[in-house]
Amino acid sequence: MNPFLNPFITIPFIKNSLLDPGRLQRLNPQQLERYRDKAFKKMVHIAYTVPVYHQKYKAAGIHPNDITGIKDITKLPFITRQDLNQHFPDGVIPPTFKKEKGHIICTGGTTTKYCCNSGSEPVCTYTDTASMLRSSLISSRENHFFQLNWRKTRFAHIGNFNPFKYDEIYEENVLAHARKFIPLQNYLSMQASNRTYEILEKLNTFKPDIIISYPTIFQELAYLKRKAQGSDIQPKLLFVGGAMLDEYTRNYVEDAFHCRMYNTYASCESGAEIAFECTQRNWHIHSDFFHLEAVDQNMENVGPGERGQLVITRLWGNGTPIIRYTGMQDWITLSNGKTCLCGLKSPIFGRPVEGRISSNIMLPDGRIFPPSDFLLVSTVLSELKTFKVKRYQIIQQQIDTIDILLVIDEDQKNHGPSFDIIAKKIENIYQQKTGPQVTITVREVDEIKDDPNTGKPAPLIISNIHTENSCNLPNA
């Protein structure tokens, strides 16, 4: 049955489509907190019926009636990736949730076997069509901010459409049914693992206004664009997510496409975009849909402006509740109520999301750095004012060994600074960062291979270090 013919799905969706997009602008702070408290209490009551949560809450001596609002959230225990995996499938959903009408969403398994609180296996959760429909209203809010009309704007999404990935489930269970009622010729979906030339050709025919994809996909397309290919690809905006975006890649892509690129922040577990970057380069949090905490190595909340591990709570949705979930394993810094010049009233991050804990760089002297602190290649290339590096990757092979791989544009080899100059400057800046105990090797390679098993491009930073201190708070 087409879900759009089900009144139990369409009526709530129509109601939410009138209320959700403008809520953050419409409500004053007191009204918003009351809304969040009500939504949070509802989710806690649902979670109490879910075996994995029920066991933890009972063990902690917590009942939903003990929770009066979000201020009581620290009374609740954390939920880890292991908790969800060990209780999947029946133990992660309420007894009233019908699995046969739900959808399984799995993460890409991009974290390493040394992540905090988890193993290397992907984590799977349940959602349903109604929840995915509601998630689209978050995108409507962002479209409104950028003055994009969903009926007229041409969107191209280059994502992960492998089985059990959110993009594939959304395409199959929402967009495919919506197309039977609404003409959606202005939406194009493509698999990120397809050949870059194939993606370019489809984009060139489609002529999108907006392109949504991973940083590496944009970089590869930008490389071809620099070779005078894809002449009809002239987007107005680019939206990037799914991996860290460094300044070199941003500049490289924006220069090629002659438009601006903005970050979005989401995960399979969140079921929607948690935050997005505005025209002032601030990351705005959808605080009516999510509550975020930042915790230190002792799992204690840190204050505004302090870096900590993300703990996320979802204030909406059916299927698997996400309450005080630690499994995303990103470093974040919450702001102290600072407002943004763009005019949005939503809270913002104190600094951009700083990458996965599993990608921390740990040095022999005990210092630990989040991935964002080790993107010094970008600094060097910007100073040299060169775009001859197509792609790069940083790999910590051992505690005292770091390899930096550069893919050089063959057509630019004899233009601008030589590879030797680039390599020496990169080596020097990393040596200053790490100290003499670490061997820095800068190498030119023909390509950086993506992992065909995940459907996502290879990460910018890889750490192969196993240490008991991998979850410690990094030095600021």
Domain ranges of the chain: 1-357, 360-463
User: Given this model, what pLDDT does residue 223 score?
Assistant: 96
* Closest CA relative to residue 401, chosen from 367, 451, 349, 442: 442
User: Given this model, what pLDDT does residue 456 score?
Assistant: 72
Q: Fold for domain 1-357? A: Rossmann fold (3.40.50)
| Local structure of 360: helix, strand or coil | coil
Q: Fold for domain 360-463? A: GMP Synthetase; Chain A, domain 3 (3.30.300)
User: Given this model, what pLDDT does residue 180 score?
Assistant: 83
Cis peptide before 235 (omega within 30 of 0): no
User: Given this model, what pLDDT does residue 111 score?
Assistant: 34
Calculate the alpha carbon distances from 118 to 81, 166, 438 in Å. Answer: 6, 21, 29
pTM to 2 decimals? 0.92
Q: Could you write out the DSSP letters of every residue in 279-333?
A: TTS-EEE-TTTEEEEEE-TTSPBPPTT-EEEEEEEESS-SSS--SSB-TT-BEEE
For residues 266 and 330, the answer to whether their CB atoms sit within 8 Å is no
HEC per residue, 379-410: HHHHHHCCCCEEEEEEEEEECCEEEEEEEECH
Half-sphere exposure of 453 (CA within 13 A, CB side): 4
d(CA 124, CA 126): 7
User: Given this model, what pLDDT does residue 475 score?
Assistant: 42
The pLDDT tens digits of the residues spanning 326-372 come to: 999 999 999 988 889 999 999 999 989 998 888 899 999 999 999 99
> Which parts of the chain have pLDDT scores under 70?
109-120, 452-455, 466-476
Cβ burial, residue 18 (10 Å; 0-12/13-18/19+): exposed
Which residue(s) pair with 398 in the sheet?
A: 401
